Amino acid sequence: MVRNAWQRWLDRRLPRARQVRLDQRGIFILPSGYGYLYLLVAVLLFFGGINYENNLILGLCFLMIGLFVVAILHTYRNLSGLTLRAGGARSGFVGGQGSLEVVLIARRRGHRALWLRWLEQTAQEVSVERNEETGLWLNLPLTRRGARRPPRLRVESRYPLGLLRAWSLVALDQVCLAWPRPQQGAECPARGGDRERRPAPAAQNGSEEFRGLRGYVPGDALTQVDWKGYARGRGLNVKLFDEPASGRLWLRYDLLEGVPVEQRLSILCDWVLQLSRENRPFALWLPGAELPPGQGDEQRRRALDLLARHGEAD
């Protein structure tokens, strides 16, 4: 109840945004443990000064208190004006960690010894000097598949004297994708390729239908070179083939009938990884989404993202 009220209050006061500039609305400040000890010392010195009727010890005590008050201003100042912007995102598998980039921008003044952490995570320290930008990647444990919004980001600083801690709870509008946790499946849930539903040893340009020739470019597979033509003095050319639709390997969600949703996705995920490792082209079909055939890291990422986003409302 109280927690909810607190959350609502925070959401009103510090709404989620792509970029947040810290100001008096969002900065909280309280003495640190050491700050309380320091004040206790000042109080002890006050009694000492009174009892020894020593005005200089009283003066020392007052100077310490003055320093404390000034430290409030300086600690506040160290956070004030700091701009945080949602940066890039690195996705990860469920059970592992993703990470999100937070860009810190110091416009008017430097901001030193800042500790950043998602609530309930460990913190990282960073400093930004005036007119500089720094990106900081913060890990985020992923527990559920899908797009994960990070909790509020706690930005804390005790600079310069450690007597006070000033902090803010910033909600950055960024998203980290959690891919399904890969799970070994017995059979490849694929259609296409060869009959045994094993991924075909796909040639680079598909297999069957001959389309024509073109000039050799370094990097073309030597198996594709039209050696016969070369022998006939037609120059070094490469044979082009059209990939037959039947030759494409389609990983299909619906082939895993009877398996719970998350598990299906996990199995598909495992196959995506396996095929990518073997550098084979594949395509992916999910209810409501499909990925055309392709290969390589980009294809792998797209497939994983698609799996991660499966079932999302939008």
Cβ proximity to another protein, 108 vs 149, nearer residue: 108
Task: Between 96 and 296, name the residue whose CB sits nearer to another protein.
Answer: 296
Q: How many CB atoms lie within 10 A of CB 95?
A: 12
Could you say whether residue 57 binds another protein (CB under 8 A)? yes
Q: How far is the CB of 231 from another protein (least distance, A)?
A: 10
Question: Pick from 109, 272, 110: which is nearest to 181 by CA?
Answer: 272
Query: Considering the complex, what minimum distance in angstroms separates the CB of residue 114 from another protein?
Result: 10
* Pairing of the two strands 250-252 and 282-286: parallel
Instruction: Candidates 10, 29, 31, 74: give the one binding another protein (CB under 8 A).
Output: 74
**And the tokens for 214?**
């073109």
Q: Decide whether 107 or 197 has the Cβ nearer to another protein.
A: 107
Q: How far is the CB of 228 from another protein (least distance, A)?
A: 14
Structure-block tokens of residue 134: 């720094």
Is residue 236 within the footprint of another protein (CB under 8 A)? yes
CB of 32 vs another protein, minimal distance in Å: 10
Closer by beta carbon to another protein, 233 or else 258: 233
CB of residue 97 to another protein, shortest distance in Å: 23
- Rounded least distance, CB 159 to another protein, Å: 5
Tokens 């990925």 belong to which residue?
Answer: 291
- Identify the residue among 31, 76, 213, 302 touching another protein (CB under 8 A): 76
Choose between 104 and 163: whose C-beta lies nearer to another protein.
Answer: 163
Residues in CB range of 236: below 8 A, 6 or more apart: 215, 216, 225, 226, 230
Cβ–Cβ < 8 Å for 91, 269: no
Would you say 312 and 146 are in contact if contact means Cβ atoms under 8 Å apart? yes
Which one of 147-155, 176-184, 211-219, 277-285 is the stretch in contact with another protein (CB under 8 A)?
211-219
List CB contacts of 150: < 8 A, sequence separation 6 or more.
100, 118, 138, 140, 172, 174, 176
Nearer to another protein, 84 or 249 (CB): 84
State how beta strands 92-93 and 176-179 pair.
parallel
In degrees and rounded to multiples of 5, residue 110 shows phi and psi of -70, 155
Residues in the chain: 314
Contact predicate 13/25, CB 8 Å: yes
Which pair of structure tokens corresponds to residue 261? 């949703």
43 scored as a contact of another protein (CB under 8 A): no
- Distance (Å, rounded) from C-alpha 268 to C-alpha 284? 9
39 binds another protein (CB under 8 A): no
Q: By rule CB under 8 A, what string of x and - marks binding of each residue 107-146 to another protein?
A: xxx--xx-----------x-x-------------------
- Identify each DSSP E strand in 44-161 by its residue range: 83-90, 92-93, 97-106, 111-118, 124-128, 132-141, 146-148, 153-157
Residue of the chain from 31, 151, 160, 229 that contacts another protein (CB under 8 A)? 160
- CB closer to another protein, 102 vs 269: 102
147 three-state secondary structure? strand
Q: Which of 70, 119, 221, 245 binds another protein (CB under 8 A)?
A: 70
Write out the residues near another protein by the rule CB under 8 A.
17-19, 34, 37-38, 41, 45, 47-60, 62-67, 69-71, 73-74, 76-77, 80-81, 85, 107-109, 112-113, 125, 127, 158-163, 173, 214-218, 230, 233, 235-236
